[in-house]
Amino acid sequence: MPTMTFGQALNEAIKIEMQRDPNVYVAGEDVGVYGGIFGVTAGLLDQFGPKRVRDTPITESAIIGTAVGAASCGLRPVIELMFVDFIGVSMDQLFNQAAKMKYMFGGKAKIPMVLRASCGAGIGAAAQHSQCLEAWFMHVPGLKVVMPSTPHDAKGLLISAIRDDNPVVFLEHKILYAMEGEVPAGEYTIPLGKADVKREGKDVTIIATAQAVHTALSAAEKLAGEGISVEVLDLRTLSPLDEDAILESVRKTHRLVIVHEAVKFGGPGAEIAALVAEKAFDRLDAPILRIAAPFSPVPFSPALEKEYIPSVEKVIGAVKTVMGS
Amino acid sequence: MDITTEKMVDMYTNMTKIRMFETRVSELFAAGKVPGFVHLYVGEEAVATGVCANLLVSDYITSTHRGHGHLISKGGDVKFMMAELFGKKTGYCKGKGGSMHIADVDLGILGANGIVGAGPPLATGAALACHYQGKDSVCVCFFGDGAANQGTTHEAMNLATCWKLPVVFVAENNMYGISSCTINSMCVPNIADRASAYDMPGITVDGNDVMAVYEASSEAIKRAKQGQGPSLIECKTYRHRGHFEGDPCVYRNKEELEEWKEKDPIPRFEKKLLDLGVLSPEKIQEIKSSIKKQIEDAERFAEESPYPDPAELTLGLYTE
């Protein structure tokens, strides 16, 4: 199987869909000549031309708003928000327009669009270029929220997102762009709303997304050496949430640790914990623990940023706590 | 101006229909039959009418919170509109949208909108789709003087020119964003003055003169369809009613209102058509009777229609 980076896998997904459907277009800041600030749209302009790969001014509301308008009239925009932090200047077009149009209009409109955005800390980009805002999007009925953790999943999920007839927020953790992995050639899809067991185990379930999946896997590996069998469930999609997969795993292991890089307070983990408390409380042998970012903006200094991001050590500590060891 | 008498009668009929529909809606709101917010277009009918008289079903519009006039002018059916205002299952949005969210994508109506300034980016996107797919269609973006100061409006105008898209921005300047008068909210006397910043033609017309609106928009739409890019048309007008039904209007005086009522676009156009011999008093009566019946039918339809079942609350959110 060919090996490629997470970023290349995304690039391939977009290429495949652009070849397959002439209504798919790409737009965003620096997506053309530059190839995307993280290189995800590299080569697309040469291959598909300026009509389908559209460099935009720095105009996030208009980038998203034109995508919504174009999608309602039959196109399938794949737009790039350079950093998810920029959603603040353009949120209305996403949450009041794209997400609600179908419902508000009595089911008639169709908004097939993908908003890709980089997210996450780890490169010293500080408070306005490092956030994980998935909880904001999860809270909006009408959106789908996808957050892959591997090159393989990134490609299959992005193809599904582009083919989906709803507005999809596709969040790419920037630390993952350079990660290499096996990616099948050609087209394949991974259904939205399906979690994936990245490591099977029987003692504790760790639920994670994006970069935190790898933190969880490292913790699981170390804990295996100490005789603790950890199951790592990668949600892949946060909305719709794969409730069955979450409950199935917890019913098996009876212990749950949730790891994410979004702020813990009001974060995705709160929703997952509530779900488990509501539907599988009697199957739990220990309180649910969350390892997530503190209630703080993302700090700049490497010393502080390291403290901000969930670490393998903290995850191991949480697992040991729920194991009572 | 090259316009048939038939078209002029259509425009008169359309304006009268908007006025009579909304006059009834106002009464129904007062009677407690229409819940929520109702923003009436009374006094501004010439704008939507004059612009939409140039559009085909295959063209698009984006509307505003004050959208009834746009919807009727773009072919919206008063029956389904009234049912929606009543919150009934048979309404345009199955009772899920209400006055501020009526849409019919099949008619090219991309929705009334509850967010001031949300329409321009959407309209620019619809125009992008027309351009991209090589369609000979245009999108008209109706927006008010309030939206003229929103960043989204300026972002959309800039991008529309950068990409030379077939969109016509129609500013309905009724002088007030709720209570805030354009004298205080705008740093230039005319919204159209801003067109030069986006390298598009900008024109200010008497928004209470349906023929002036028709002519200006005819030219802008033609220009857009010929691939020459966007235009901005400012229509100076006035709303006879408050911002919403129930607004005490403490921010403007009676004299101003009376002055504008003198300039009411409907009697003005009626007189013109009578003078031209295009209409007769009998014909006017006939038109009004026919509209009255349509509105009575619409009201009956709305009254008799069922409310949505509570089980429908979460339906229609996602496309499967």
A196-323 matches A3-182 in CATH topology: yes
In this structure, is residue B309 part of a structural domain? no
Cβ <8 Å between A166 and B318? yes
B305 part of a folded domain: no
Per CB-CB distance under 8 Å, the chain B contacts of A97 are: 113, 115, 118, 122
What pLDDT shows up at residue A65?
98
Enclosing H/E stretch for B231: strand B231-236
pLDDT at position A6: 98
ipTM: 0.97
Residue A111, min C-alpha distance to chain B (Å): 9
Residue B91 covered by a domain: yes
Residue B26 has pLDDT above 90, yes or no: yes
Cα A152 from Cα A217, distance rounded (Å): 16
Cross-chain Cβ contact A102/B156 below 8 Å = no
Beta bridge partners of B152: none
Q: Is the pLDDT of residue B1 over 70?
A: no
Residue A253: band (very low, low, confident or very high) from pLDDT cuts 50, 70, 90: very high
Distance from CA of B39 to the nearest CA of A (A): 18
- For chain B, the average pLDDT equals 97
A9-21 per-position pLDDT tens digit: 999 999 999 999 9
- B154 at the A interface (CB within 8 A)? no
Instruction: Please state the rounded mean pLDDT for residues A28-57.
Output: 98
The nearest CA of chain B is from the CA of A35 a distance in Å of 19
A288 CA to chain B: closest CA distance, Å? 30
Average pLDDT over residues B293-309: 98
Residue A196 has pLDDT above 80, yes or no: yes
pLDDT at B196 over 90: yes
B296 lies in a domain? yes
HSE, side-chain direction, 13 A CA sphere, residue A94: 30
**Average pLDDT value over all residues in chain A:** 98
Residue A71 pLDDT grade (very low, low, confident, very high; cuts 50, 70, 90) = very high
Grouping H, G, I as helix, E, B as strand and the rest as coil, residue B181 is strand
3-state class percentages of chain A: helix first, strand second, coil last, to nearest 5? 40, 20, 40
Encode pLDDT of A138-194 as tens digits: 999 999 999 999 999 999 999 999 999 999 999 999 999 999 999 999 999 999 999
Is the CB of A73 less than 8 angstroms away from the CB of B122?
Answer: no
Contact A159, A103 (CB under 8 A): no
Domain boundaries, chain A: 3-182, 196-323
Residue B177's nearest CA partner among B202, B154, B152, B148 is B148
- Count of beta carbons in the 10 Å neighbourhood of residue A305: 18
List, as one string, the DSSP characters of A135-185. Answer: HHHHTSTT-EEE---SHHHHHHHHHHHHH-SS-EEEEEEGGGTT-EEE--S
Is residue B308, in this structure, part of any structural domain at all?
no
What is the CATH T-level fold of the domain A3-182, as seen in this structure? Rossmann fold (3.40.50)
Domain CATH code at residue B195: 3.40.50.970
Number of helices and strands in chain B (H, E): 11, 7
Verify whether the Cβ–Cβ distance B92 to A106 is below 8 Å.
yes
Interface test with B, best of A66, A93, A101 (most B CBs within 10 A): A66
A49 touches chain B (CB under 8 A): no
Q: Is B159 on the interface with A (CB under 8 A)?
A: yes
Pick among A18, A72, A73, A89 to test the B interface (most B CBs inside 10 A): A73
Count of domains in chain B? 1
Pick the CATH number of A196-323 from 3.90.950.20, 3.40.50.920, 3.30.465.10, 3.30.70.120: 3.40.50.920
Q: Are the CB atoms for B23 and B241 separated by under 8 Å?
A: no
Closest chain A CA to residue B139:
A69
For residue B76, the enclosing domain spans 5-27+35-300
Is residue B244 a part of any domain in this protein? yes
Q: Looking at the domain assignment, is residue B310 inside a domain? A: no
Joined tokens for residue B298: 């619409």
Q: In this predicted structure, what is the pLDDT of residue A325?
A: 81
Measured on CA atoms in the order B308, B313, B316, B320, is the torsion positive or negative? negative
Q: Tell me the per-residue pLDDT of A257-310, one tens digit each, with 9 for 90 and over.
A: 999 999 999 999 999 999 999 999 999 999 999 999 999 999 999 999 999 999
Chain B residues close to A102, C-beta within 8 Å: 316-319
Considering only CB atoms, A105 lies closest to which of B101, B122, B155, namely: B101
Task: Mutate one of B107, B115, B152 to test the A interface: name it (highest A CB count within 10 A).
Answer: B152
At B29-67, the pLDDT tens digits run 999 999 999 999 999 999 999 999 999 999 999 999 999
Mean pLDDT value across residues B90-104: 97
Q: B156 vs chain A: nearest CA distance in angstroms?
A: 6
In a domain, B311, yes or no: no
From chain A, the residues in CB contact with B128 under 8 A are 66, 69-70, 75
Tens of pLDDT, residue by residue over A108-131, are: 899 999 999 999 999 999 999 999
| pLDDT number for residue B82 | 98
Residue A173 is a catalytic residue: no
Q: Which residues of A218-237 are buried (b: 16+ CB within 10 A; e: fewer)?
A: bbbebbeeeebebbbbbbbb
CB within 8 Å of B303: residues ≥ 6 apart? B33, B86
- The yes-or-no verdict on residue B136 having pLDDT over 70 is yes
| Single-letter code of the amino acid located at A283 | R
Predicted confidence band of residue B2 (pLDDT cuts 50, 70, 90): confident
Tokens representing B220 are 């802008």
Residue among B111, B114, B320 minimizing CB distance to A105? B111
DSSP symbols for B115-148? STT-HHHHHHHHHHHHHHTT-S--EEEEEETTGG
pLDDT value at residue A203:
98
pTM for this prediction: 0.97
The answer to whether the Cβ–Cβ distance between A75 and B132 falls below 8 Å is yes
- C-alpha dihedral sign at B221, B222, B225, B230: negative
